[in-house]
Structure 1
Amino acid sequence: MDDMLNKAKEKAAGMSDDQIDDAAETLKDKTPDKFDAQVDQAADWAKDHNDD
């Protein structure tokens, strides 16, 4: 799990908040609705930590 989070953080680095939101929407379109809240949570986390 840590490896997956680290890869996501690397991918999000340098992305604007709008790009992160677009990626989250694309992911939500491709996954079951029951995961939408987790995708939104991950996107919020990525935006919060994007400047780290």
Structure 2
Amino acid sequence: MGSNRGLVHRGSKSWWTGDFKTLCGLVIPAGTGKSPWFTKPACPTCEAAVAARKRK
């Protein structure tokens, strides 16, 4: 598990609840997440999940 403090995460937003689930397993409740204009510093766990998907 990672921390959402100061890192940019990758994931998907739920259409039903508005919660955001990251690739590293965090669930950020609706209305509490921020949409950054930058991609650094990236979460290393999320980036590893993206790299693993690309290798398939």
Name the TM-score, length of structure 1 as normaliser. Answer: 0.29
Higher strand residue share:
2
Question: RCO greater where, 1 or 2, for CA within 8 Å and sep 6 or more?
Answer: 1
Name the TM-score, length of structure 2 as normaliser. Answer: 0.27
Higher helix residue share:
1
Q: Considering only CA atoms, is the larger Rg found in Structure 1 or Structure 2?
A: 2
